[in-house]
C-alpha cells in the first residue's frame, strides 16, 4: 500500500509517468488515486493563499495543553480573603438565626379597659373576662392552637373559664401564676402582689419566685405578696362573699366582716382611706351592704351600729374613733 501511495504522489509531482509507475509497482487502485489526488489539490490551495503551518510550534502548544489538563487544580487564597469569607459566612449564619428566632417569637394580642370603665371580653375559647378599670390583658397568639391557653394580666379582672381538660388556662402576673381547667375567679395583680378569689371550681396559684403552690376552692382567697413574703404564699382564707363582687355588681353584702376588711374593700374600689383611732377598732365586726355609688352611707351606718364616731378628714379620708365596739 505504501508503495502505491508513493507512486501516486510521484505521478502528481510530475516525477514519473503513469506508465513507469505501473511498471514499478503495478497499477494503483483507482479510488485510492482519486482520494490522494483530491488531497493534493486541496493542499495546493493552501499554498496559493500563503498558508504555512508551523508544525513544531503547534505540537508544543498541544503538549502544553495536555499537561495543563492533567495537572491538579490548586488555588491558593490570601489569608485576608479567607478571613473575609469566614466573616461573611458568620454574618449570614447570624442573620439566619435572628430571622428564625424573630419569625417564631410569640406574639400577643393586647386588650385594655378604659381607666373610667369596665370592659367585657369573650375569648376565642368562649371564656368570658371582665376587665376592671385600667386593666391590661395579653393573649398569647394564636390563642386556640397552643397546648395551653396563656394570658398575662396587669390590674384586676374576673374570669369565667370555659372548661377544656386538654388545654389548661394559665394566667401570668408579675409575681404569680394561676392555672385552671374551667372555673370562675377574680384576679388582682400589680407589681407587689397577686390576689385570687375563687367563685366556683378550683384554682391553683403559684409563687413564681419559689414555685410554691396552693390550691383554692370556691369561697377561698389567696395572696402572693412579693414584698412581705417573697418566698412563700400567704395563707389562704375563707371569705363569705368575694370583695370583687362590689366592682362587678355595684354592691357587696358584708356579713360579720371586720372593719379591716371594710377598709381594704373601700380602698380598693371606692378610693376611700379609712383610719382607726386605735388598733382594736379594726377588729370590730359589722354587717350591711356597701353600694359602690354611695359607700359613705355604709360607713355612717356601720359606725352608728358599732357605737363609734366617724370623722371626715378630707373628701377621701375618714377616721373611726371611740372607746370600743358595741358587742
Same structural domain, 292 and 212: no
- One domain, residues 262 and 222: no
**Model-level pTM greater than 0.85?**
no
pLDDT at 237: 79
Classify residue 72: in a domain, yes or no: no
Residue 293 has which C-alpha cell? 355609688
**Which of 238, 260, 288 is the endpoint of a domain?**
238
Tell me what pLDDT residue 182 has: 86
- Residue 98 forms part of a structural domain: no
User: Is residue 169 included in any domain, yes or no?
Assistant: yes
Q: What is the pLDDT of residue 239?
A: 76
**Last residue within a domain, chosen from 238, 260, 276:** 238
Report how far residue 212's alpha carbon sits from residue 205's, in angstroms, rounded to the nearest whole number: 8
Q: What is the largest CA-CA distance in the chain?
A: 163
**pLDDT truncated to tens, each residue of the chain (327 aa)?**
556 666 765 665 566 655 554 444 455 566 666 766 666 565 555 555 555 666 577 667 766 766 665 555 555 556 666 566 665 556 566 545 455 544 455 688 999 999 888 999 999 999 999 999 999 999 988 886 778 899 999 999 999 999 988 889 999 998 889 999 889 999 999 887 889 999 999 999 988 777 788 899 999 998 887 766 555 566 677 877 888 999 999 999 988 889 999 999 999 999 999 999 999 999 999 999 999 999 999 999 999 999 999 999 999 999 999 877 765
**Other CB atoms closer than 10 Å to residue 130's CB: what's the count?**
19
**Residues making up the chain, counted from first to last:** 327
- Report yes or no on 103 lying in a domain: no
* Domain boundary, last residue among 56, 75, 97: 56
Note whether 227 and 304 are same-domain residues: no
CATH of the domain at 297: 3.55.50.30
Position 313 in a domain = yes
For residue 78, is it within any domain? no
Per the structure, the complete domain to which residue 133 belongs is given by: 108-238
Measured distance CA(224)–CA(235) in Å, rounded: 9
Give dist(CA 293, CA 251) in Å, integer.
Answer: 9
Quick count: other Cβ atoms within 10 Å of Cβ 284?
Answer: 23
Same domain for 226 and 119, yes or no, is yes
Integer Cα distance of 243 and 198 in angstroms:
11
How many whole angstroms separate alpha carbon 260 and alpha carbon 275?
9
Dihedral sign (CA 73, 79, 85, 86): positive
Whichever domain contains 169, its CATH number is: 2.60.120.1440
Residue 22 confidence (pLDDT): 46
Domain match, 187 and 308 both:
no
- The number of domains in the chain is 3
Q: Are residues 221 and 297 both part of a single domain? A: no
Q: Are residues 234 and 261 in the same domain?
A: no
Q: Identify whether residues 232 and 112 lie together within a single domain.
A: yes
Residues 197 and 280 in one domain: no
Residues 183 and 226 in one domain: yes
163 and 112 in a single domain? The answer is yes
Residue 68 counted as domain residue: no
In a domain, 101, yes or no: no
The pLDDT assigned to 263 comes to 94
Whether 136 and 194 share a structural domain: yes
- DSSP string covering 19-58: HHHHHHH-PPPHHHHHHHHHHHHHHHHHHHTT----HHHH
Q: What is the DSSP letter of 123?
A: -
Dihedral of CA 306/311/314/318: which sign?
A: negative
Residue 10: the pLDDT is 66
Amino acid at each position: 500500500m505504501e508503495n502505491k501511495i508513493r507512486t501516486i504522489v510521484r505521478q502528481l509531482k510530475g516525477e514519473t509517468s503513469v506508465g513507469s509507475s505501473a511498471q514499478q509497482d503495478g497499477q494503483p487502485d483507482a479510488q485510492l488515486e482519486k482520494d490522494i489526488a483530491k488531497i493534493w489539490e486541496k493542499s495546493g490551495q493552501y499554498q496559493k493563499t500563503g498558508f504555512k503551518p508551523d508544525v513544531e510550534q503547534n505540537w508544543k502548544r498541544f503538549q502544553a495543553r495536555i499537561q495543563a489538563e492533567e495537572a491538579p487544580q490548586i488555588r491558593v487564597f490570601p489569608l485576608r480573603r479567607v478571613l473575609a469569607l469566614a466573616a461573611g459566612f458568620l454574618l449570614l449564619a447570624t442573620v439566619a438565626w435572628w430571622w428564625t428566632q424573630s419569625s417564631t417569637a410569640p406574639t400577643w394580642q393586647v386588650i385594655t379597659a378604659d381607666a373610667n370603665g369596665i370592659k367585657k371580653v369573650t375569648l376565642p375559647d368562649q371564656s368570658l373576662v371582665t376587665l376592671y378599670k385600667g386593666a391590661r390583658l395579653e393573649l398569647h397568639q394564636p390563642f386556640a392552637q397552643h397546648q395551653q391557653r396563656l394570658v398575662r394580666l396587669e390590674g384586676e379582672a374576673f374570669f369565667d373559664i370555659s372548661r377544656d381538660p386538654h388545654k389548661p388556662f394559665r394566667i401570668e402576673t408579675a409575681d404569680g401564676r394561676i392555672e385552671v381547667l374551667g372555673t370562675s375567679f377574680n384576679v388582682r395583680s400589680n407589681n407587689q402582689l397577686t390576689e385570687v378569689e375563687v367563685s366556683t371550681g378550683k384554682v391553683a396559684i403559684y409563687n413564681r419566685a419559689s414555685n410554691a403552690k396552693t390550691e383554692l376552692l370556691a369561697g377561698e382567697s389567696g395572696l402572693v405578696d412579693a414584698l412581705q413574703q417573697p418566698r412563700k404564699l400567704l395563707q389562704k382564707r375563707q371569705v363569705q362573699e368575694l370583695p370583687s363582687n362590689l366592682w362587678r355588681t355595684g354592691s357587696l353584702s358584708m356579713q360579720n366582716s371586720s372593719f379591716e376588711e371594710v377598709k381594704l374593700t373601700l380602698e380598693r374600689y371606692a378610693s376611700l382611706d379609712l383610719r382607726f383611732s386605735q388598733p382594736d377598732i379594726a377588729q370590730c365586726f359589722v354587717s350591711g351592704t356597701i353600694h359602690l355609688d354611695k359607700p359613705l352611707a355604709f360607713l355612717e351606718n356601720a359606725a352608728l351600729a358599732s357605737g363609734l364616731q366617724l370623722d371626715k378628714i378630707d373628701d377621701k379620708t375618714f377616721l373611726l374613733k371611740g372607746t370600743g365596739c358595741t358587742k
